[in-house]
Amino acid sequence: MSRLGIGIIGGGYMGKAHAAAYGSVGTLFETTLRPELEMVCATSISSAEKYQKNYGFKSATTDWKEVVNNPNIDAVVIASPQSTHCEIALAAFKNRKHVFCEKPLGASVEESRTMLTAAEASGMVHMTGFNYIRTPASQYARQLIVEGRIGDITWFRGEHTEDFLADPSIPTNWRTTGKSNGTMGDLAPHMINAARALVGPISSLTACVETVHANRPGGKVTNDDQAQMMCKFENGAQGHLFFSRVATGRKMGYAYEIHGTKGSIKFDQEDQNALHLYTIDSVEKERGFKKILTGPAHPDYKAFCQGPGHGTGYQDQIIIEANDFLRAIHEGRNIWPTFSEGMEVNRVVSAALDSSEKNIWVKIADY
């Protein structure tokens, strides 16, 4: 068993989630590599020191370069704003650090491509932070599809809907400006990743991106609130994706429904410990959607509990990511989703924004 020094850049919401995950992942998954929280980087020294103390890091800094230069650090978690991802990642690879980067990967397809190229050239491990596809239920959904339990997929409907900006009287804030903070930048990547993971690559789409509440107390909203796209997958399936931060009543509406020739799957992250499966292999009068509660029979569940139905939560997804990151490093090979997936998701986002502007169908291959 050997130690692995971890540096985290960005100490806010996601930085804390990762720090906490590294505190228990070793115990829960009984990992060979034991992570140690070396250094945290934040924008102000007071924040950085607070994070150091509260999250249990050995040191703190306001300069991310100190993290990527720290010889005790083997792996860097990038949880800072998207605009900084590319530069930090390139520097980290140069210094022979493994890199876990939050989604959306780069600020553009080009940036993501650059990051992927650097990652591959370095030979270091790279991973993108699509945490929602990591639940035991969604991993199990992927398994079922691979095993052919629902036959050929004919339809995929996915959405990522929340309501944190549904009230038009909420003033402008950091979320209402900047492309990467809009619905397409913030929410869409998760569900595009899910669509790709469950069905396969998207070949073409036509999208409609809009700002429902363009004016708020404080001024103009400069990014998108709500977006949808019709799409076609390379395997011939048709689909629809919807993203909204003004979906009144929806709190964590990462949800999908998949129709196949032999069965169907339904999932809603708001009840993340259940997968609904319909198959045609029973007599007609006994057909129905089965509500399968996740348990030790499903991927990554038993690290958290030996009993089925006891449930995992949001923080456990981050722990699952951490375990896979440690495993990848230990085994010296990349584990999905890598920077490649991050870049592919970027391409779909770019295609959708372009399609919406031009009101036409576009091919992903062109982005």
Number of residues that bind its own copies (CB under 8 A): 92
Residue closer to its own copies (CB basis): 65 or 310 = 310
Q: Which of 273, 334, 338, 346 binds its own copies (CB under 8 A)?
A: 273
The reply to whether 278 sits near its own copies by the rule CB under 8 A is yes
Comparison of 147 and 333: residue with beta carbon closer to its own copies? 147
With beta carbons less than 8 A apart as the criterion, state whether 231 and 238 touch.
yes
Is the bond preceding 337 in cis, omega lying within 30 degrees of 0? yes
β 226-233/202-210 pair status = antiparallel
To its own copies, the closest distance from the beta carbon of 73 in angstroms equals 18
Site string for its own copies, 7-36 (x = CB under 8 A): ------x--xx-xxx-xx-xxx-x---x--
169 burial type by CB count under 10 A (0-12 exposed, 13-18 middle, 19+ buried): exposed
Bridge partners of 244, per DSSP, are 161, 226
Let me know: does 86 contact 60? Beta carbons within 8 Å.
no
Rank residues 65 and 157 by Cβ distance to its own copies and give the closer one: 157
Q: How far is the CB of 361 from its own copies (least distance, A)?
A: 6
Binding string to its own copies for residues 197 to 236, with x set by CB under 8 A, is what? ---------x-x-x-x-------------x-x-x------
Least distance to its own copies, CB of residue 270, Å? 5
- Decide: is 284 part of the binding site for its own copies (CB under 8 A): yes
Q: Distance between CA 153 and CA 264 in Å, rounded?
A: 9
At its nearest, how many Å lie between its own copies and the CB of residue 339? 25
User: What tokens does 284 get?
Assistant: 């007609």
* Contacts of its own copies in 320-359 (CB under 8 A): 359
The smaller minimum CB distance to its own copies, of residues 219 and 313, is found at 313
Residue type, 312: T
Least Å distance between CB 170 and its own copies?
11
Does 172 engage in binding with its own copies (CB under 8 A)? no
Question: Does 148 participate in binding its own copies (rule CB under 8 A)?
Answer: no
Nearest Cα neighbor of 311 from 275, 345, 344, 336 is 275
What is the secondary structure of 48-70 as a DSSP string? HHHHHHHHT-SEEES-HHHHHH-
Pair of tokens at residue 255: 């949800």
Tokens 């990591």 found at = 134
Rounded to whole angstroms, the Cα distance separating 62 from 47 reads: 9
User: In the complex, what is the shortest distance from the CB of residue 95 to its own copies, in angstroms, rounded to a whole number?
Assistant: 26
DSSP state string for 313-344: -HHHHHHHHHHHHHHHHHHTS--SS-HHHHHH
By beta-carbon proximity to its own copies, the closer residue of 128 and 135 is 135
Q: For the window 231-270, what string marks contact with its own copies as x by the rule CB under 8 A?
A: -------x-x-x-x-xxxxxxxx-----xxxxxx----xx
CA distance 257 to 7: 38
Instruction: Candidates 101-109, 111-119, 156-164, 335-343: pick the segment binding its own copies (CB under 8 A).
Output: 156-164
Q: Which of residues 39-98 bind its own copies (CB under 8 A)?
A: 53-56
State how far the alpha carbon of 235 is from the alpha carbons of 172, 355, 365, in Å: 42, 21, 15
Q: How far is the CB of 132 from its own copies (least distance, A)?
A: 9
Is residue 160 within 8 A of residue 345, CB to CB? The reply is no
- Rounded to a whole number of angstroms, the minimum distance from the CB of residue 316 to its own copies is 5
Minimum distance, C-beta of residue 353 to its own copies, in the bound complex (Å):
15
Query: Among 113, 155, 175, 335, which residue sits at the site for its own copies (rule: CB under 8 A)?
Result: 155
